[in-house]
Amino acid sequence: MTGELKQLIGRINEEIDSLQLGDKPKELYEPIDYIMRLGGKRLRPLMALLAYRLFKPDWESILRPALAIEVFHNFTLMHDDIMDHAPLRRGQQTVHEKWNDNIAILSGDVMFVKAYDLLLECQPEYFRELIQKFNQCAREVCEGQQFDMNFESRQDVTETEYLEMIRLKTAVLLGFSLEMGAILAGADQKTCEAIRDFGVNIGIGFQLKDDLLDVYADQDKFGKQVGGDIIANKKTFLLIEALEKAEGSLQNELNHWLGKTEFDKTQKVEAVTAIYDQLGIQTITENRMNEYFDKGFQALDRIPVAEEQKEELRAFAQALINREK
């Protein structure tokens, strides 16, 4: 990462540290401080700043509204972790584990309010557009989470349904992050749409990359256990493709591993990976992922600013695409 990007992230983190969230009752506000300080790459506010910098240099002027996205993102994590019964977040206890479900519900609600407070720190001429777009995005993120939960108990999820779910759950917020930067820089509607398209398509590609890495990452470089999704029967793009494509004995074998409640983890990961390999799932997924990345970069091409102005955002996206963990 360039020194310039590090500087932006440094300022984002400083501003997060200085957020005045509230005081009493402490049960409500401590969990918010806790989750906001668990770290994370701060990609979303960073994307808002980078998008703004395509058009205007004074990115500090939108730092506070950009934080709304990070606060909102962490709010969704706090509520999702309750729903998913997740014990850990960024290697630390989740809020509902460290405190309890009720506190995680209510602290999350207060974070959501804070996101709107921060959005209101933008120039008044952009209030309506920004908040309307944010609302649309927030609603879609909730829809994505509900679809994801619905899929857990379904064996017949289609590729189309899965792609729509990850678009809603993950990609639209990346799209909104970029669009916010463009809106606040006064970009016209077509440009705002193009940069959002860039974000949404890159976002879907990122999620497919996540699904791929979980099976095909180099364990030495990967932060988590390779094969975690296979062990948990998680409905990733790879599994959905395999369920659609497998026939005969391969189908039986896949269903056998999905139905097994007791198994050797390494053995299951190897067996399911072998099924994926026989079905060519890696290539299918890579092709689909690259389609989204290409579509994203085509949208970036449509943005009417000089190519060298786009270099920073392009390099940033490329670095995320090339990541191995």
The binding site for its own copies (CB under 8 A) comprises 22, 24-25, 27-28, 79, 82-83, 101-103, 105-106, 108-110, 112-113, 116-117, 120, 124, 127-128, 131-132, 135, 138-139, 142-143, 145-147, 149-150
Question: What's the min distance (Å) between Cβ of 120 and its own copies?
Answer: 6
Question: What's the min distance (Å) between Cβ of 129 and its own copies?
Answer: 10
Question: What's the min distance (Å) between Cβ of 145 and its own copies?
Answer: 6
Question: What's the min distance (Å) between Cβ of 125 and its own copies?
Answer: 9
Structure-block tokens of residue 310? 């786009």
Question: What's the min distance (Å) between Cβ of 52 and its own copies?
Answer: 21
d(CA 31, CA 25) in angstroms, rounded, equals 11
Residue number with CB closer to its own copies (73 or 209): 73
Residue number with CB closer to its own copies (38 or 106): 106
CA geometry: angle 224, 167, 146, nearest 5 deg = 85
The partner residues of 93 in beta bridges, in order of sequence, read 88
Residue number with CB closer to its own copies (146 or 225): 146
Residue number with CB closer to its own copies (24 or 41): 24
Residue number with CB closer to its own copies (26 or 265): 26
Residue number with CB closer to its own copies (116 or 257): 116
The partner residues of 88 in beta bridges, in order of sequence, read 93
Question: What's the min distance (Å) between Cβ of 27 and its own copies?
Answer: 5
Q: How many CB atoms lie within 10 A of CB 141?
A: 22
| Cα R_g (the chain), whole angstroms | 21
Residue 235: which of 171, 169, 157 has the closest Cα?
Answer: 157
For 93, phi and psi rounded to 5 degrees? -55, 140
Cis peptide preceding 124, ω within 30 of 0: no
Helix, strand, coil percentages (3-state) for the chain, rounded to 5, are 75, 0, 25
Question: What's the min distance (Å) between Cβ of 139 and its own copies?
Answer: 5
Sequence-ordered list of residues with C-beta below 8 angstroms from that of 218, at least 6 positions apart, any chain:
324
What number of H helices and E strands is found in the chain?
16, 2
Residue number with CB closer to its own copies (108 or 205): 108
Residue number with CB closer to its own copies (110 or 231): 110
Question: What's the min distance (Å) between Cβ of 106 and its own copies?
Answer: 5
C-alpha distances out from residue 125 to 65, 133, 188, 191, Å: 14, 14, 14, 18
d(CA 187, CA 172) in angstroms, rounded, equals 19
d(CA 284, CA 263) in angstroms, rounded, equals 28
For 88, phi and psi rounded to 5 degrees? -130, 150
